[in-house]
Amino acid sequence: MKTLTIGQHVLPNRAVLAPMSGVTDLPFRKLAARYGAGMVVSEMVASESFVKGDAETQMRAEAQNGGLHVVQLAGREARWMGEAAKVIADMGADVIDINMGCPAKKVTSGYSGSALMRNLDHALTLIEATVEAVDVPVTVKMRLGWDDRSLNAAELARRAESAGVQLITVHGRTRCQFYKGTADWCAIGDVKRAISLPLIANGDCKSIEDAEAMLEASSADGVMIGRGAYGRPWLPGHVGHYLATGEKLSPPSGHELADLVSEHYESILGHYGQFAGVRIARKHLGWYLDEACLLGGDQMPGAERKALMTSNQPSEILRLASDWFSASKDRVAA
C-alpha cells in the first residue's frame, strides 16, 4: 500500500481535506477527521493578526483533537510568519502549511496567498523564516502560477525543497483562473517531476473516480479535496479508504445523515455562539440539502427549505433537518 508522509509523520491514507476559509473550521474538521480523512488543515490563519492577538484569527488555529494538527499560515512579511509559526508550534501544531495559493482579491491585494508567486525571491524569505522558526515539518500550498504566462510552480517547489519544506501541494489552476475552467492535473505532474518531496494534487476532486484520475495524470502521492467536500465531510475519508483498500463506502443516509447534520449544526452553535452560529450554519445546511438531492433524493419543499434556511430558532431548525434527512434513505429507495 502506498503511503503519504510529511517529515516523520505517516498519514493513515492519501486523501486530505483542503484548507478553506469559512468552511474548514473546527466543527467541520472534527467531522472530516472522524470519517477518516488522512489529514485535515485549518482555515487560513493571518500571521500578523494571530501574533497580535486577534481572537477570531486565533480561533482558526485550534486543534480538532483527532489526527495531525495542521495550521495553514498566510502573510507577506517574514517576521510575522516566523513568529506566528513558532507560537503555533509551541501550542502543539504538528505541521505548519504556508499559503501561497489563495486567489481571493482581499488576500492577493495584500501581497499574500498566490500573489507571492509573482516574486519568488520574496516568497522564499517567508518560507525560510517559517522553517527556521520551528522544529515541526513545514509544507507549502501553491497554484500553477499567477497566470498562464508565469507557470512557475515547479521553480517555487524546487526552491522550497532546498529551503527545507517537506511537502508540496499544488492546485491545478493559476491564480487568474480562480475556480473557472478545469484543473490541469497533468501540469501538476510537471511539479512532481521537479522535486523529490511528496506532492499532493488539488483541484476538482469530487469523487473516488476523480481521485484515481488525478493521481494517474499528476503522478502525485496524494489528493486534496476542497469544494467537493461541501455537504460531504465524509468524502476525504471515503476517498482515502478506497485508495488504501479498494473498498467503496456508502455515504451516510437516513438517520445517520440526520444525526450528522444535527451534530454539525449544534457544534457550529457551540463554537461560535447562537447569534453567529445560526447564520454560519446556513451554508452547510444548504450544501447538505443539495448533496441529498444529488444522491437521488427529492428537493425539500420550498416553504420548508425557506424556514430551514431563515429561521433563527435552533429547535425549529433541528426539527426540520432531522425530519427531512431521516427520511432521505426512504426517498432515494422509492
pLDDT per residue, tens digit, the chain (334 aa), is 789 999 999 999 999 999 999 999 999 999 999 999 999 999 999 999 999 999 999 999 999 888 899 999 999 999 999 999 999 999 999 999 999 999 999 999 888 999 999 999 999 999 999 999 999 999 999 999 999 999 999 999 999 999 999 999 999 999 999 999 999 999 999 999 999 999 999 999 999 999 999 999 999 999 999 999 999 999 999 999 999 999 999 999 999 999 999 999 999 999 999 999 999 999 999 999 999 877 766 788 889 999 999 999 999 999 999 999 998 665 443 3
* pLDDT score for 33: 97
| Beta pairing partners, 45 | 73
Residue written as grid cell 517555487: 156
Burial of residue 9 (number of CB atoms within 10 Å: 0-12, 13-18, 19+): middle
Amino acid at 223: V
Angstrom distances, CA of residue 243 to CA of 35, 37, 227: 15, 12, 20
- Rounded-to-integer distance, Cα 101 and Cα 123, Å: 12
pLDDT in tens, 140-188: 999 999 999 999 999 999 999 999 999 999 999 999 999 999 999 999 9
- Known catalytic residues are 102
DSSP string, 252-270: P-HHHHHHHHHHHHHHHHH
Residue 245 has φ and ψ, to the nearest 5°, of -125, -20
Burial of residue 302 (number of CB atoms within 10 Å: 0-12, 13-18, 19+): exposed
pTM for the full predicted model: 0.95
Burial of residue 217 (number of CB atoms within 10 Å: 0-12, 13-18, 19+): middle
* pLDDT score for 308: 92
Helix, strand or coil, per DSSP, at residue 191: helix
Residue 183 has φ and ψ, to the nearest 5°, of -70, 140
Mean pLDDT of the chain: 95
- Write down the H helix ranges in the chain: 26-34, 47-51, 55-59, 78-90, 105-108, 120-133, 153-162, 185-194, 208-218, 235-245, 254-272, 274-294, 302-310, 314-326, 328-333
pLDDT in tens, 253-280: 999 999 999 999 999 999 999 999 999 9
